[in-house]
Structure 1
């Protein structure tokens, strides 16, 4: 019998350093809501086991409102020497793990806006493909938005 060590992917936290909301008029029923999500990954040079997923979320209805959020999830990945497995955790699992927190944040925020938008319930998202890797300078730029 062989025993395999389980990969340790830990979700440490999610922060929302940027939240911009603009509304020109009240949302009406049956208006198309555009959702654009762009996840990226950042690997700090000083700690090879940690990485951050940065998800820029833009939700809008033409000429009604625009909501832009930056969510930064912090993760730790230990005991992974296989690059293919590490890539899978970073590119698919990590964005999927933090997305329910983003959905919850958006629902809570929009429910507190009263009749401006009503509560927005973002549908589940599926993440696939390679995330764009960003630098430390890019992280600083994201926080300025």
Structure 2
């Protein structure tokens, strides 16, 4: 029987540090969304902080933001590894782990506000892997 290996990293916490919501009264317009990832890695503590900014606006009015949200997820590596030794699968998986929390926050907020429900479906987030890798600060 093969011995189980420990996970390379663990998910520590999720929080929404800032958000802004403006009710969308335009029923005929489509909704465009954007996600902007960035991260900070502390090589001494092994802590990786992932910031994921979510922005939505009417398709025909790019200046009219409906939802702006900054969310933060903290991940911890078992051993304090050098940034260059972070497994390549971490970036894609970290975003995939964090996204359901962000989606639940948005859905719950719009439901509780008794406004037009903003319900995000399943999304392919693999395209955010490279932008995250390019926007990491190492301390």
TM-score calculated relative to the size of structure 1: 0.74
Alignment of 1:1-145 (within 5 A): 3=3, 5-23=5-23, 26-28=25-27, 30-47=28-45, 49-61=46-58, 62-63=60-61, 65-79=65-79, 83=84, 86-89=87-90, 91-115=91-115, 118-125=116-123, 126-128=125-127, 129-130=129-130, 131=132, 132-134=135-137
Contact (CA 8 Å) 2:43, 2:83: kept in 1 or not? no
Shift of 1:70: 0.2
Shift of 1:45: 4.8
Q: CA RMSD in A?
A: 2.7
Cα distance in 1, alignment partners of residues 113 and 19 from structure 2: 14
The 1:135–1:69 alpha-carbon spacing in structure 2 relative to 1, beyond 3 Å, is farther
Shift of 1:20: 1.3
Cα distance in 2, alignment partners of residues 36 and 65 from structure 1: 11
Contact (CA 8 Å) 2:13, 2:74: kept in 1 or not? yes
Q: Which runs of 4+ in 1 moved over 4 A?
A: 62-65, 79-85
The 1:68–1:135 alpha-carbon spacing in structure 2 relative to 1, beyond 3 Å, is farther
The 1:41–1:81 alpha-carbon spacing in structure 2 relative to 1, beyond 3 Å, is closer
For structure 2, list consecutive stretches of 5 or more residues without a partner in the other structure. none
For structure 1, list consecutive stretches of 5 or more residues without a partner in the other structure. 137-145
TM-score calculated relative to the size of structure 2: 0.77
Shift of 1:36: 0.1
Number of residue pairs aligned between Structure 1 and Structure 2: 130
Aligned partner of residue 7 in structure 1, secondary structure? coil
